[in-house]
Amino acid sequence: MSALDPVTFAILTGRLEQIADEMDATLYRSAFNPIIAEARDACHGLYHATTGATLVQGSKGLPIFVGAMAFAVKAVIDKVGANGIDEGDTFIFNDPYAGGTHLNDFRLVRPLMRGGRVYAWLASVGHWLDIGGNVPGGYNPRATESFQEGVLIPPVKLLRAGVLQQDVVDILAANSRLPRSNWGDLNGQLNALDLGERRFHALIDEYGDDVVAAALQAASARAEALMRANIAKLPDGTYSFEDYLDNDGIVDERLTIALDMIIAGDRMVLDFSRTSPPCLGPVNISHATAVACCYVALKHVFSEVPANAGCLAPIEFVISGTTFLGVSAPRPVAGYTETILRMIGVVFGAIAQADPARATAAPFGTINALSVAGHRASGDRFVMFCFFGGGLGASPESDGLNHANNPISTATIPPAEILEASYPVMFTQWALRPDSAGPGRHRGGVGAVYEVEVLAPGGADVSLLGERGRYAPFGVDGGGPAALNRFIYDTPEGPASPPMASKITGVRLRQGERLRLESPGGGGHGNPRTRPPAQVARDVLRGFVSPASAARDYAVAVSTDGTIDAAATAALRAGATA
């Protein structure tokens, strides 16, 4: 393999990442559904010819797909086997147990051929709006089998030597409430692969097969070296942490995610053996998904490590099929997002024990997967699927971010204007949620309030798959927990909330009726009584904290206009230390 000087390596690394970014942008600009076009729930990359390991990923794609896509590409490699593959062949599938995440995420995998052999693999993944199942949008909180979540497609050839297999397209269309939307997204993914194939060939033609291969190998080695160096800075030992899910949507009992993190020199073991067993409801996840979310957590902590498979080399994962983090078919997995959020939190918690300087309080920890579905005045069917924001956890250095995205991804929250233009709904409130942040010397980020009115003449069916309805985002180092998640909807008898706290289906809203979602904030960091009164007063003035909470949690007497009563504050703080 050709020697590679540092300048050429830097140029090639930037060029490779730019190609993946272009693939992302191509899909975002051409996708039909807002979850890809606006929320950017998609990813593209380049993968190893024989192992499927991640070589390059776009910076705008979802990090959660990095680890999972490597398993997905390996599933295609195994499927091809000794049968060989032709230039222009493209596989499609959404199998969550073979490198997928949940059924809505469709993967397209294509070989990049050089000299009649596979040089690498190109892959695209995007979240399609509807793929059948009992609940429009796929997030069925009452599912006990994957068959109730949608249609499962194993790796099959969508294109044979560049020729579209219409039979496969027909099967996909027949199993969706929104075939036109899925057709648009599919073509966007194919266009992204076409562009990536052209760009990669042009780059390899310019620099040569061996030089580009050397750059890819060097990037992986660099990521491994940086990850080893970061792990080596942590004290050797075993660090344990656990957190909980409200329930699985079927049995109203909490589920535990428990981690024992072992640091030994420049190696790390993430052992989840003490986690609850597989559950009946849809919050199970596959082994590939569990590995991928651990990668995301570590990438947050060690942000300078490049996004490729090399960073996982020093890490051993103990994720057993006897837990709900490593299930196989047909266990339901639609609510995987809630589980991986909690997994990321426990990784944060364990690392914070090893290095308190990295201690970050819990983020809001739920995507609140909401589906509102019905028929427009024209009679056409609609499915509004959306996820929502909340507050991030405070750190040793700063308050948490208000109304942010979850740490599982770079996905954004679709704007209200886009949702209202796309579906017969109206957002009557979209605002920050007062008193939702965990108190602390550094306050958690503030959650949000979303209120939606149904405009469809025939009403709409509503379902929600969320979390944090019973176990609040935790604070650290004396910081307080954030507010719980809340979901309220109109009924003829008055407002109601889910018996399972955060999961419900079978709700029918009439035209003019509303639902209200109040997302959690982030946990606080440090003793809230040590927060400077001026900062508390600013929070009250901005509406983040009420005067009552300022007095109770921070021992600061302040009016709604931000005026501090110095004497009353002194009395409160004296009482707090008595």
Tokens matching residue 343? 């997994």
pLDDT band at 1; cut points 50, 70, 90: very low
* pLDDT value for 306: 86
User: CA 344 to CA 324: how far, in whole Å?
Assistant: 15
Determine the 3-state secondary structure of 93 from DSSP: strand
Angle at 45 between CA 43 and CA 50, to 5 degrees: 135
* pLDDT value for 303: 85
Mean per-residue pLDDT, 500-513? 97
In a domain, residue 75? The reply is yes
Mean per-residue pLDDT, 209-214? 96
Pick from 563, 552, 481: which is nearest to 522 by CA? Answer: 481
The number of beta carbons lying within 10 Å of the beta carbon of residue 137 is: 27
Buried b (16+ CB within 10 A) or exposed e, 450-473: bbbbbbbeebbbbbbbbbbbbbbb
pLDDT in tens, 158-207: 999 999 999 999 999 999 999 999 999 999 999 999 999 999 999 999 99
Q: Which residues pair with 517 in a beta bridge?
A: 450, 487
Same domain, 11 and 42: yes
Buried b (16+ CB within 10 A) or exposed e, 98-115: bbbbbbbbbbbbbbbbbe
Same domain, 428 and 552: no
Same domain, 479 and 564: no
In a domain, residue 297? The reply is no
φ/ψ of 355, rounded to 5, equals -140, 90
Same domain, 495 and 570: no
In a domain, residue 391? The reply is yes
pLDDT band at 411; cut points 50, 70, 90: low
Same domain, 538 and 400: no
pLDDT in tens, 360-407: 899 999 999 999 999 999 999 999 999 999 999 999 999 999 999 887
The DSSP line for 399-425 is PPPSSB--TT-S--PPPHHHHHHHSSE
User: CA 338 to CA 260: how far, in whole Å?
Assistant: 20
User: CA 183 to CA 181: how far, in whole Å?
Assistant: 5
Q: Please tell me whether the overall predicted TM-score, pTM, comes out greater than 0.75 for this model.
A: yes
* pLDDT value for 169: 98
pLDDT in tens, 110-165: 999 999 999 999 999 999 999 999 999 999 999 999 999 999 999 999 999 999 99
In a domain, residue 56? The reply is yes
In a domain, residue 482? The reply is yes
pLDDT above 80 for 258 = yes
- Return mean pLDDT, the chain: 94
* pLDDT value for 577: 58
Mean per-residue pLDDT, 33-37? 91
* pLDDT value for 58: 82
In a domain, residue 110? The reply is yes
Domain boundaries, position 559: 532-578
* pLDDT value for 257: 98
> How many domains in the chain?
3
In a domain, residue 263? The reply is no
pLDDT above 70 for 410 = no
Same domain, 526 and 559: no
Q: Are 69 and 125 in contact (CB under 8 A)?
A: yes
